[in-house]
Structure 1
């Protein structure tokens, strides 16, 4: 439907409206008076239609604003639900893997030795294999021996 305020009042004296005018003509009413009466009726009807149109436009604006407000509230609600679900999932993950999420304490580090200890390759191979390594290989005497004697062999080697 179009806005009735843009409509133009027709000329009721033309031949298209002659039937309407002649039905109103009698001894007391002339054809010009009948056309004027039809024009007044058209104007009153058009003003009523314009008023209804403007009320409908205002109502539509209010409905659209309400829909936008409801859509915004729905989006905020869905966002809150999603955040709650994510927080619940994070809390469950923390419960499952509580050691994974423990804070690492900040402690002062001991001073690092300037000299690196050179361990024999034999002891390192035994450690790699998962075998028992005697404490001798970690003593000062053994570490000094490695500095002098680099060539050591495993008992299982075929040399």
Structure 2
């Protein structure tokens, strides 16, 4: 009986009644924004990293990436919960896609040259909610940290 009620409340796309499904690219961008906003500091460098990631990884042009980042900031500020975004990503991304997203989250966290405890906690939380093992959380951090250090030496 509960299954029948749940099916009635969901549309054909699985969204709750009155809810639109979340597009995967927007969901990814919102998680990047959540990482950038975690330390309550200016997000200038983080915005640049987000736009580059969206251009490189998703094949967007710079204007589309900038528009997506702006939309993600708006959605992030208005969201009561990240559930819809995480649900979309957990359904639509395979393990490799989730690892790539985790790498982007770390790149955003390192954008200003350091990772604040709040940023690390947010990335850890998002990795757990994406069902990624802790070893991936650590491996991606070390990878991005090493790349960051190599850039600083050049």
The answer, yes or no, to whether TM exceeds 0.5 is: no
Query: Which bracket does the TM-score occupy, shorter chain normalised?
Result: under 0.3
Which protein has the bigger helix share?
2
Q: What TM-score do the two structures reach when normalised by structure 1?
A: 0.18
Higher relative contact order (CA 8 A, sep 6+): 2
Q: What TM-score do the two structures reach when normalised by structure 2?
A: 0.18
The higher radius of gyration belongs to 1
